[in-house]
Structure 1
Amino acid sequence: MSNHHDTGYKELFSYPELVRQLIEGFAPPEVAAMMDFATLTDHSGSYITPLFGEKFEDKVWSVEVKWDGTRQRVFVYLLLEFQSTVDHRLPIRMLHYVACFYDHLIKTHVTTARKGMPPIFPVVLYNGSKRWTAREDIYRMIRPEPPGFMRVYQPHLRYYLVNESAFSEEELAERDTPLSGIFEVEKASKDVDALQEAVQRLAARIRAHPEKARLDEVITRWLKRHLRRLGAEAEKALEQVNSLVEDNAMLAENLQTWAERERQKGRQEGRQEGRQEGEEIGLQRGRQENARETAINLLALGLLDDHQIAQTTGLSLDEVKALRSDQPH
């Protein structure tokens, strides 16, 4: 975890309902089809990664899957990646994190090296605004690509990327879940009107969910943290709101008040910029007029040629010539 954005999402994905919505709504359909979500089990913990010298607390869940008539438990490794810039080391980090987790399973006697390691589905959830450009398989980082006989000896680990900004409003609306509503709120944060509408849709989706009481509590806390990042006025809009479902009327009124204040602030800033621009234009015109008057006086004296007058006044040579042609002979 690299910054303060992660805290809220870590709590969100401590709830199996939201993990299920992530897999069903944003992972490949064939992956979700194999999973028995009733068996979701949280295995998250803290591990020390010697390579990066950092402590990380990313979410790890296990779930039973069924294929070829057999059932097996698969671990879903969820890396929450909320950096302002894309970290091109991420394939190396992911390989290291997975290796550390496998080592943890051995040390805690979940399995042994002789028995083998369980499958892992690595997922990276990214909510940054910049386009994701990191490689999605560590093998793609190896340059130049080795000859055929050496390729089998190179490391391979691919993660599945869920890039919030890559989903359109229509795609998020089609999923129609509290998690897709959270993504909509994230995407709308720079537009107060769009944010106001997204929060209302999020509240409606929570209200329609079978586990609305649990989700209402955790998502309300997340939203308060999210608005805190947008400034004191945004945070104040939810100060008295303890439930997006129960306090819906208060929520709508407070968001409306905040949105109107933001619009008013924008209009005032626009007028101020307009006044400053007008004043600058006036000053430029005044300086231009003074230069013209000085050039006319110098032309009348007849002591300087056109090039000298242009250098003295800052006017162009063509402007000086035009003023000379206007002078009475």
Structure 2
Amino acid sequence: MRIFSYPVVVKDLLMSFVHEDFVKDLEFASFKRLNPDFFPASQKSRHADVIYEITSHGKTAYIYLFIEFQSTVDWFMLLRMARYMLEFYDELRRSGKQKLLNPAFAILLYSGEPIWNAPEKLSDLLLDSSIPKEYLPEFRYYKIAINEIPKRDLVKL
């Protein structure tokens, strides 16, 4: 969806629908859309997804916007998103000399009709285990489901 290639639209999306404290600290004047060549190889065919680089408190962060036009809920979407994020981090690792990676905030923008009821964090996909939770992988995304937002709020955009 080309509309999200415009930083002002993504800014409005974040300010209106991402209810997390860190959003108010983002320096939107620094918004820079990453070139699609920077996407991991498995993502190159997904023209709808967008990655923005942004500054917060003088440090670089990323907003990774996954846009889903599916008509059904993908129960394992979380795994695909986690894989894309890890591939993105691997691209960052290869392109720089730093030992630590900048944080990335993953957003799922869902526009289907069925209510999105798939897990939003990896631990919800794992069976209970005797393995301590701190040794299990963790990943979470922020969901924006268009069908869950009151129409009066959507019109404000």
With structure 2 as the length reference, what TM-score do the two structures score?
A: 0.90
Query: 1:56 matched to which residue of 2?
Result: 46
Matched, 1:163 2:153: no
Instruction: Compare CA radii of gyration and give the structure with the larger one.
Output: 1
Return closer, same or farther for 1:44/1:27 CA change in 2, 3 Å cut-off.
farther
Contact 1:75 1:118 in 2 (8 A): yes
Q: Could you tell me which residue of structure 1 aligns to residue 129 of structure 2?
A: 146
The answer to whether the aligner puts 1:78 opposite 2:59 as a matched pair is: no
**Counterpart residue number, 1:118:** 102
Matched length:
154
Describe the superposition over 1:18-75 as per-residue Cα deviations: whole angstroms up to 9, x where unpaired. 11011011111513211010000111424223xxx98434200011112xxxx21110
CA–CA separation in structure 1 for the residues paired with 2:144 and 2:8: 17
Equivalents in 2 of 1:61, 1:54: separation in Å?
A: 15
Instruction: Work out which of the residue numbers 11, 14, 19 in structure 1 matches 2:10.
Output: 19
The amino acid across from 1:96 in the alignment is R
What's the C-alpha RMSD, in Å, of the aligned pairs? 1.8
Task: Give distance in 2, aligned partners of 1:21 and 1:131.
Answer: 23
| CA apart distance, 1:171 | 2.7
Matched-pair contact (CA < 8 Å) for 1:48–1:56:
no
Tell me if 1:172 matches 2:154: yes
Q: Answer whether contact 1:139 1:156 (CA < 8 A) is retained.
A: yes
Q: Which one has the bigger strand percentage? A: 2
What SS does the aligned partner of 2:41 have? strand
3-state SS of 2:59 partner = strand
State the Cα distance separating 1:107 from its structure 2 match: 1.9
Q: Which runs of 5+ in 1 are unaligned?
A: 1-8, 178-329
User: Could you report, residue by residue, the CA deviation over 1:110-168 in whole angstroms, capped at 9, with x for unpaired residues?
Assistant: x44xx21111100000000001011000111001x223x52111111110000001011
Measure the CA separation in 2 of the matches of 1:117 and 1:107. Answer: 11
SS at match of 2:13: helix
Rounded to whole Å, the distance in 2 between the matches of 1:117 and 1:108 is 11
Amino acid at match of 2:118: A
Percent of counterpart pairs with the same letter? Answer: 27
Aligned to 2:80: 93
AA in 2 matched with 1:140 = D
- Which of 37, 47, 61 pairs up with 2:40? 47
1:12 and 1:170 mapped to 2: Cα distance? Answer: 20
Partner secondary structure for residue 129 of structure 1: coil
Unpaired runs of 5+ residues, structure 2, are none
- The alpha-carbon distance between structure 1 residues 77 and 44, as it changes in their structure 2 partners (threshold 3 A), is farther
The Cα shift of 1:108 comes to: 2.0
Q: Paired residue for 1:35? A: 26
Tell me which amino acid in the other structure corresponds to 1:118: N
